[in-house]
Structures are given as C-alpha cells and as structure tokens.
Structure 1
Amino acid sequence: MSAFVTPTRTLISQAQLARPLGRTAYWTVFWVLIALFALAFLFPLYWMVSGGFKTPQQIIQTPPSLLPTSPAPGNFATAWRDMDLGRLILNTTLYAGGALVFQLVFDVAAAYALSKLRPVFGNGVLFAMLATLMIPTTVIVLPAYLTANDLPFTHWSLLNTPWAIWLPSVANAFNVFLLKRFFDSIPTELLAAAAIDGAGPLRTLWSVVLPMSRPILGVVSIFAVVGVWKDFLWPLLVLTDTSTQTVNVGINQLHVGVPENVFVAALAIASVPTIVFFLFFQRNIMAGLTAGAMKG
C-alpha cells in the first residue's frame, strides 16, 4: 500500500497552472518581477560604470543621460594614477585577507565547539553572542576605538596597524551562528565513527567536518571579505595614516579637487575585486545558506 503524499500548498494550485490563461498569467508576473528586481540591483552598478566614461559636463548635467555621448575611457587610467588606487587596493586586500583567515580559524573553532563539543553554558554563550547583533554598530564604535587605542593591560595602540581591522572582525556572531547551524546538520554518527577510528576532536574537525563544510565556508568567506572591503567608518577612525588607509577611506580623502567623472571611475575600479570574488564563490551562497536545513 503506497503512502498518501499531501501536495505542497502554494498561492496558485496545480489545476490553475494547468489552464492556459493561468499559466500565461503566472509566467508573465514571474518574469516581470524578475526583471524589476534585476533592474533595481543592477542599475546602480551600471550608473556607476557608465558615469566613469562620461565627461565632467555630462555627468553633472540635468536631466542626466543614460549613455555617455563621448565615452572617455581615460578617466579610469587617470583615477588609477592620480588617486593611487593600486596602493589602496593592496592595503584593503591585505586587511580583507587577514580578516578572512582569522574568521575561518576562530569562528569555525567556536561554532564547532558549540555544536559538537557542547561545553558547559554553551547555550548561554551562544545567546550572548547573538544578542550582540541587536546592538547598533555606532553604539560600540567609541568603546572599540578606545580599546584599540590603548589595549587593556598591555597599553599597546593598534591604530594604523592591520590588527585594528583584523581583531574586531573576528568577533562575528552572525558567522558563528551560520557555521553552528551547518555543523548541527552533520550526522553525529560520522563523528562517532571518526572517534572509534581514534580521531580526536581536532582531527575530526579537519578530516571530517571541514571537507563537508565547503559551501558554508564559501559563504563566510564572502561575508568576511565584503564586510572589510565595504567598511568605511571603522577604518576612517583607526587608519589615519595615508599609507595604511583602505580603498574607501583613501578615495574619500583624495577626491577633493578631482573631477566627478574621475571620482566615479575610481569607485567603479574599487568595486571590481569584490564583484570578482563574489562571482567566484556565487555557487556556494545558496548551497551554504540552505545546507543547515538538511537532516542527517
């Protein structure tokens, strides 16, 4: 006797989709919404890139034009040279890479401990970490700055050093939550089998858990890199030396006296590394975010 399977209920029933009028209306609405959402997300990017090709007069004209009448690709070379974008991007790459390494090491260890090792008061620690997500970033900027300027006990100053970017980025409660949610979906039987074979917790994490966690590690990598690359307020406070500034802070400091079209071209160049990084890991986004829903 076959089991009775209840069909999934949706806004539109299968009977309505089977009718030509219902099917046509459904796909029309579907593609219209897809086009509107794509336009809402891609148009600002197009506007920025096209603005880099415009002349100074065209970029400030009213009403604005969608296409550059006389494309000037030299604006990008001027922005790269005059605003020292090579150094700024190199600095930001260093900060983003270090933040990525530190987050993968410490956040993975914290999530693994909370998920599989089950320490005493682990749920309380997780609750306290998630509670920090409810605190606005601007509220903790001043205490964080005072701490970075004068570390407790050691009295070291982290200002104008990569540590001022790396250390605060490690305490990422959202990434810990994502990783723990994924680790919870890994069957306990796999860890028990590894323990029977003589693997300790660290060996189990390295040989069993991490190979299965590539999707969520890709998601965390995207969040770590993009979070550092787009941040402005914190680097503005702790990186006052022009030789250590990130690309966002450097462009903000150097854009005075620069034509608007060259400034927009610099913004377009600064966005390229994160777009490339996103495209490289884009397959892992949905896989990682939905993997925690799997049942072992």
Structure 2
Amino acid sequence: MAEFTPQTRTLISSAALSRPRGKVVYWTVLSVVLVVFTLVFIGPLYWMATSGFKNVHEVLHNPPTLYPHHPQASNYKTAWTQLQLARLLWNTVYYAFGALFFQLVLDVAAAYALSKLRPVLGNVVLGAMLATLMIPATVLVVPQYMTVLDLPILHLNLINHPWAIWLPTVANGFNIFLLKRFFDSIPQDLMAAAAIDGAGPIRTLVSVVLPMSRPILGVVSIFAVVNVWKDFLWPMLVEPDPKKQPINIGIQSLSQGVPENVLIAALAISAVPTLLIFLLFQRNIMSGLTAGSLKG
C-alpha cells in the first residue's frame, strides 16, 4: 500500500511552478521584491557612507548625486578629530556595557525566579512587566526624568551621572520574558538532579542554567548594547555635559559650524559599530530568539 505524503500548501501550486510561464512569473516577482526591499534598507546607508566622501556642493545638490565625483576621504579624518569621536565612542561603550552588566544580573535573576522558583503571584508580576511593553516610551520620559532628578528615598540627583542611563534600562520586561521562556524549556529533571546533589537555587543557576543559556544571553546582550547605543532623547535629557555625552548626542552638540559633509561622515562612523554587531551576530540573534520555543 502506498504511503501517503502530505503536501505543503503554498500560494502557488507546484504544478503551476513547473510550467515555463509559472517559473518566469515566480522568479520575476521574487527578483523585483528582493531588489525593492534591498534598496529600501541599503539605500539610506549607501547615501550616508558616500555623502561622507562628497564636498559640500555635492551634498547639497538637488537632485543628489549617486556617487562622489571628487572623493574626499579627509572628511572622515576631520570628523574624527573635530567632533572628538574617540571620546564620544568611549562614553557610549561605557554606558552600553554598564547597562549590559546590570541587565544581565537583574534580568537573569528575575527570569530565573519567575521560571524556576515560582514565587507567589509570579504570573501577576510577569503580566505587569509585559503590560509595560504596551506603554509608549515617550509617555515615561517625564516620570523617569523626575525620578533621576530626585531619586526616591535616597534623594540623589543623577543628572550627568551614568546611573541616569543605567537605571531605566535595568528592568527590561521584554528581556525578562525572553529569558523566562528559555528557562522554562530547561528540563525539570536537570533541576531535580542538581537538587539531589545538594545544589541550592543560586548554585543551580550558575552551574546548570547559565551554561545552557548562552544563546539567549547573547541575544539579550546584543539588544542591551544596541538599545543604549541608538538612544537619543533620554541621554540628551540626562547628560547635558558635552564631555559625558554618548556619540549620538555629542555629534548633535558639537555640530554647530561643522560642514554638512563632515557631519554626515561623523554619522557614518557612529553607525559602524551597530552594523558590525548585527552582521557578526545575526545568526546568534535568530537562533537565540527561537531557542526555547520547544520544550524537551
């Protein structure tokens, strides 16, 4: 008796694709879609990178030129020195990895407690955390600013202090949800075996859970660094001192009197680290997001 093999349902049947006309239509539509989406995403990056090599006249030319007719690589060197990008990059790295450290410590602890320790009203706490994701970030700007202006109980002013950037990023509901979902997929048998060996909750977290959680920890780390790196409004409010500003705000503060081509070159330099992070770790991001989706 012949074995029945279920067919995968698609928008275009395999019979239609087997015809010459079907193949032509399919590949034409696919090529057009790929080209259009590539231009949409790559176009602004190409314009920014090439405009850094143009002179002021070419940058302001309407319609814009497709490529620099007289390339000026010195624009990037001028942007690096005139806008003090080395100091601004260091400030950004300091803020980003400081936020990463505190997020990993506190978010991992919160997700582990909700997943494995199962406290009373844990689901209510998790639901409240996820509910905060529905609130637009701009709505929280004023209460967050009032908080760092006069920290409750301690009555400290955190303006121009790294904690003003780190504190709002520490308890990230989305990261806690990702970590909890992954921790839920860790077999309970491993937790029971660790308990039989005499391991307490903290030792189990360090010796069993964290070594198995490298994919999702990598994803959370990338999100934490990129979120701080690309933020603009909040650092502009809490870091008014130009010497302590991250690169996005520093470029804006020091841009007075800077030619447009040099300013665009500085913006291109500031975008390189996040692009490299994505290109180097895109596979880790996708595998980490899908990790823990199936239990077992």
**Which category describes the TM-score, using the shorter chain as reference length?**
over 0.9
2:171 maps to: 171
1:250 maps to: 250
2:279 maps to: 279
1:61 maps to: 61
Alpha carbons of structure 1 residues 17 and 114: separation in structure 2 relative to 1, 3 Å: farther
Alpha carbons of structure 1 residues 201 and 80: separation in structure 2 relative to 1, 3 Å: same
Counterpart Cα distance in 1 of 2:212 and 2:269: 35
1:195 maps to: 195
Identity %: 65
Worse-superposed segment, 96-105 or 286-295 = 286-295
| Residues 63-121 of structure 1: per-residue CA shift (max 9 Å, x gap) | 11110000000000000111111101100000001011111111111111111211110
2:135 maps to: 135
- Output the aligned Cα RMSD: 1.8
- Give the AA of the match of 1:126: L
Alpha carbons of structure 1 residues 210 and 10: separation in structure 2 relative to 1, 3 Å: farther
**TM-score normalised over the length of structure 1:** 0.94
- Alignment: residue pair count: 296
Alpha carbons of structure 1 residues 122 and 242: separation in structure 2 relative to 1, 3 Å: same
Worse-superposed segment, 151-160 or 34-43 = 34-43
Worse-superposed segment, 11-20 or 132-141 = 11-20
- Give the AA of the match of 2:217: L
Alpha carbons of structure 1 residues 218 and 35: separation in structure 2 relative to 1, 3 Å: farther
Counterpart Cα distance in 1 of 2:164 and 2:274: 21
- Return the offset for 1:295: 2.6
1:52 maps to: 52
Unaligned runs of 5+ in 2: none
Equivalent runs, 1:47-196 vs 2, <5 Å:
47-196=47-196
1:209 maps to: 209
1:226 maps to: 226
- Return the offset for 1:39: 1.8
Unaligned runs of 5+ in 1: none
Counterpart Cα distance in 2 of 1:174 and 1:3: 45
Secondary structure of the structure 2 residue equivalent to 1:288: helix
- Return the offset for 1:192: 1.9
2:263 maps to: 263
- Return the offset for 1:2: 10
- Return the offset for 1:21: 3.8
- Return the offset for 1:224: 0.6
| Residues 27-74 of structure 1: per-residue CA shift (max 9 Å, x gap) | 433333222222211111111110100000100011111100000000
- Give the AA of the match of 1:97: F
Counterpart Cα distance in 1 of 2:186 and 2:100: 23
- Return the offset for 1:4: 5.8
**TM-score normalised over the length of structure 2:** 0.94
Secondary structure of the structure 2 residue equivalent to 1:282: helix
1:13 maps to: 13
1:26 maps to: 26
Worse-superposed segment, 84-93 or 271-280 = 271-280
Counterpart Cα distance in 1 of 2:20 and 2:294: 36
Counterpart Cα distance in 2 of 1:27 and 1:187: 45
Counterpart Cα distance in 2 of 1:209 and 1:7: 40
| Residues 231-261 of structure 1: per-residue CA shift (max 9 Å, x gap) | 1111011001111111111111111110000
Secondary structure of the structure 1 residue equivalent to 2:72: coil
Worse-superposed segment, 51-60 or 134-143 = 134-143
- Give the AA of the match of 1:43: G
